[in-house]
C-alpha cells in the first residue's frame, strides 16, 4: 500500500508581529508633523484580536489607516487578514474605526477552497477540520500542484500551508 501524504491549509497571523507593527505605527504617529497636537491614536487589543484607530477627522483617520497598512506590510502581515469596519463618531468629534484581525478559515470560505481543489481534478482528498483544511493524496506531486494552484487563486483571505508530510 502506498504511503499517504498530506498538508494543512490554515489562515493564521502572528500576533506578536501585529503588536510590533502597531508599536511602529504609534511611534510614527508621534513623530509626524501632521499629527502634532492631535488626539489620534492606534491601540492593539490582543485579547479581542482587533486594532482600534482614533482620528481627529476623516483625513487623519485615512492617514492612520495608511500608516497601519504600511507597517503591517513591512512585517509581512497580509492586508487580507485585516477587516476595516465603518468609522463611527467618538468623543470630541473624533472618528473611531475598528480593524478586526481574522484568524482561521470560516466554514463558508473553507467550502469554497475545497470546491477550488476539486475543480483542479487531481487525485486528492480535502477535508474541513474546524478552522483548517487537510489535503491528502498518494502523490506528493499532486499536493504540490494543489499548493501552486491555491497560491494563484483569487482567495479573500491569506492562507498558509503547514504540516507537509
pLDDT tens-digit series, residues 114-152:
998 888 888 888 888 888 899 999 988 888 888 998 888
Cell numbers for 120, please give them: 483542479
Distance, in Å, from the CA atom of 158 to the CA atom of 165, rounded to the nearest integer, reads 22
- In tens, the pLDDT along 2-12 reads 578 888 889 88
Q: Which residues of 79-89 are buried (b: 16+ CB within 10 A; e: fewer)?
A: eebbeeeebee
CATH topology of domain 5-12+105-162: Alpha-Beta Plaits (3.30.70)
Closest CA to 82 of 118, 53, 110: 53
- In tens, the pLDDT along 31-81 reads 988 888 888 889 999 899 999 999 888 899 999 999 999 999 999 998 888
pLDDT of residue 96: 92
List every span in the chain annotated with CATH 3.30.70.990.
Answer: 15-101
Distance, in Å, from the CA atom of 34 to the CA atom of 156, rounded to the nearest integer, reads 33
Tell me the pLDDT band of 1, cut-offs 50, 70 and 90: very low
List every span in the chain annotated with CATH 3.30.70.860.
Answer: 5-12+105-162
Cell numbers for 38, please give them: 492631535
Residues 6+ away with beta carbon under 8 Å from 54: 39, 40, 41, 42, 43, 61, 90, 94, 95, 96, 97
Torsion of CA 40, 46, 47, 49, to 10 degrees: 80
CATH topology of domain 15-101: Alpha-Beta Plaits (3.30.70)
* pTM for the predicted model, two decimal places: 0.81
Looking at residues 106-115, what average pLDDT do you find? 89
Amino acid at each position: 500500500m502506498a504511503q499517504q501524504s498530506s498538508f494543512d491549509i490554515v489562515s493564521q497571523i502572528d500576533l506578536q508581529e501585529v503588536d510590533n507593527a502597531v508599536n511602529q505605527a504609534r511611534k510614527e504617529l508621534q513623530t509626524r508633523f501632521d499629527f502634532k497636537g492631535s488626539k489620534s491614536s492606534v491601540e492593539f487589543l490582543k485579547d479581542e484580536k482587533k486594532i482600534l484607530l482614533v482620528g481627529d477627522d476623516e483625513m487623519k483617520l485615512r492617514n492612520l489607516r495608511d500608516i497601519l497598512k504600511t507597517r503591517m506590510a513591512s512585517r509581512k502581515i497580509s492586508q487580507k487578514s485585516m477587516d476595516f469596519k465603518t468609522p463611527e463618531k467618538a468623543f470630541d468629534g473624533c472618528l473611531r474605526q475598528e480593524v478586526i484581525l481574522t484568524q482561521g478559515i470560516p466554514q463558508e470560505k473553507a467550502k469554497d477552497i475545497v470546491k477550488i481543489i476539486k475543480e483542479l481534478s487531481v487525485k486528492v482528498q480535502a477535508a474541513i477540520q474546524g478552522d483548517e483544511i487537510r489535503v491528502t493524496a498518494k502523490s506528493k506531486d499532486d499536493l504540490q500542484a494543489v499548493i501552486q494552484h491555491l497560491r494563484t487563486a483569487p482567495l479573500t483571505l491569506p492562507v498558509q500551508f503547514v504540516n507537509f508530510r
